[in-house]
């Protein structure tokens, strides 16, 4: 096949989009001239804003288009969104999320082949093909690769294509070597307490290692670290992570970003399964004691970080 037209549906969240980028990169590697369109939420679009990865980004404004906010205008906008997708006449479309919004978008886009990785509701189960190979428990990157392999055979890339962020990265490169800490997480149950991050920063400081804290709206500062919390755009936060020598995070998007940029990462897990959601790759470490991430001791985080800082794997 020459230059297939491919539709990618993964609206949210940042970490999920990054894990999906491995499969999209595999498609791009095999078909450099493919026309790849990715429909995504506005807050996640900087993650896939690389022309080497995606030709066209279609914004699905989830907040504006949610049912409770519908007006005649928003309904017309949503219908135009579906019509624009269908007009592309895609050869194949993939729903890597399996929610009603993504599965309906795939159904209405009408590509020649519609493949969906899962279904989170009864309606989604009926709209598109969910291959039996995707029904087994596996990591999200493996699931994405399994899905695209139902179309053709692809090799899992060593790293996904990510935004270059040259200007943003230069700013943090001038700071020298540091360990970055993501102080918050996307869900309250996943958060590693700020006071424990402060202990991590203090212990790393006693080893002469500079720490830099990042975080979005509402995320706390980390005493003892150089704080950029609530100060950076998503692109700047990605750049700060990419320029880190080691990244520390709870179960959240920057951990996946670190892995995608080939930065060793220590991830503190709580309620979610590391087998399914850990940052993909071999240069990282998962710490998981219980459903409560706070049960992981700061000393354990520091020990893992020091090993990665020195170039060793966590288990060595």
CATH (domain of 131): 3.40.50.2000
Helices marked H in 31-177: 62-65, 72-87, 100-109, 122-127, 140-148, 166-173
pLDDT reported for residue 61: 80
Please provide the DSSP assignment of 242-307 as one string.
Answer: HT-SEEEEESSHHHHHHHHTT--EEEEE-SS-HHHHSPSSSSEEEEE-SS-GGGS-HHHHHHHHHH
Assess if residue 41 is contained within a domain: yes
Cβ atoms 121, 101 nearer than 8 A: no
Assess if residue 316 is contained within a domain: no
pTM of the predicted structure, to 2 decimals:
0.94
Which of 181, 158, 177, 179 shows the shortest CA–CA distance to 282? Answer: 158
| Of the residues 148, 179, 201, the one at which a domain ends | 148
Answer yes or no: do 131 and 81 share one domain: yes
Answer yes or no: do 130 and 178 share one domain: no
Answer yes or no: do 132 and 171 share one domain: no
The domain in which residue 203 lies consists of 166-309
Assess if residue 154 is contained within a domain: no
What values do phi and psi take at 212, rounded to 5?
A: -125, 125
pLDDT reported for residue 12: 83
Assess if residue 155 is contained within a domain: no
Query: How many domains, the chain?
Result: 2
Answer yes or no: do 137 and 255 share one domain: no
Answer yes or no: do 9 and 144 share one domain: yes
- Give SS3 for 72: helix
> Could you identify the residue written with the tokens 């997708």?
85
Assess if residue 158 is contained within a domain: no
pLDDT reported for residue 64: 67
- pLDDT tens sequence for the chain (316 residues): 679 999 999 998 899 999 999 999 999 999 999 999 999 999 899 999 899 999 999 998 876 666 656 678 878 888 899 999 999 999 999 999 999 999 999 999 999 999 999 999 999 999 999 999 999 999 999 999 999 999 999 999 999 999 999 999 999 999 999 999 999 998 889 999 999 999 999 999 999 999 999 999 999 999 999 999 999 999 999 999 999 999 999 999 999 999 999 999 999 999 999 999 999 987 789 999 999 999 999 999 999 999 999 986 665 5
> Could you identify the residue written with the tokens 């970490």?
15
pLDDT reported for residue 68: 59
Answer yes or no: do 28 and 144 share one domain: yes
Answer yes or no: do 223 and 282 share one domain: yes
| Of the residues 83, 115, 148, the one at which a domain ends | 148
Cβ atoms 77, 91 nearer than 8 A: no
Assess if residue 136 is contained within a domain: yes
């Amino acid at each position: 096949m020459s230059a297939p037209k491919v539709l990618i549906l993964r609206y949210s969240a940042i970490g999920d989009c990054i894990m999906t980028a491995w499969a999209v990169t595999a498609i791009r590697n095999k078909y450099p001239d493919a026309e790849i369109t990715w429909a995504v939420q506005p807050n996640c679009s900087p993650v896939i804003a690389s022309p080497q990865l995606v030709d066209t980004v279609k914004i699905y404004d989830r907040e504006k288009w949610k049912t409770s906010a519908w007006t005649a205008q928003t309904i017309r906008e949503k219908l135009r969104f579906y019509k624009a997708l269908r007009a592309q006449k895609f050869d194949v479309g993939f729903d890597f999320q399996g929610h009603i919004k993504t599965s309906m978008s795939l159904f209405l886009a009408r590509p020649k082949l519609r493949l969906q990785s899962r279904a989170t509701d009864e309606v989604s189960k009926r709209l598109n093909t969910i291959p039996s190979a995707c029904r087994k428990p596996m990591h999200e990157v493996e699931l994405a690769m399994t899905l695209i392999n139902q179309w053709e055979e692809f090799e899992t890339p060593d790293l996904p294509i990510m935004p270059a962020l040259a200007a943003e990265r230069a700013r943090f490169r001038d700071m020298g070597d540091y360990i970055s800490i993501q102080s918050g997480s996307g869900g309250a149950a996943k958060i590693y307490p700020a006071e424990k991050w402060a202990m991590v920063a203090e212990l790393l400081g006693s080893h002469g290692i500079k720490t830099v804290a990042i975080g979005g709206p509402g995320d706390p500062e980390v005493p003892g670290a150089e704080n950029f919390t609530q100060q950076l755009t998503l692109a700047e936060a990605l750049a700060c992570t990419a320029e880190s020598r080691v990244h520390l995070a709870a179960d959240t998007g920057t951990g996946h970003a670190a892995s995608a940029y080939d930065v060793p990462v220590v991830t503190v897990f709580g309620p979610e399964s590391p087998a399914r959601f850990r940052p993909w790759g071999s240069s990282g470490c998962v710490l998981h004691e219980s459903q409560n991430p706070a049960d992981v001791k700061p000393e354990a985080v520091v020990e893992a970080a020091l090993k990665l800082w020195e170039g060793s794997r966590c288990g060595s």
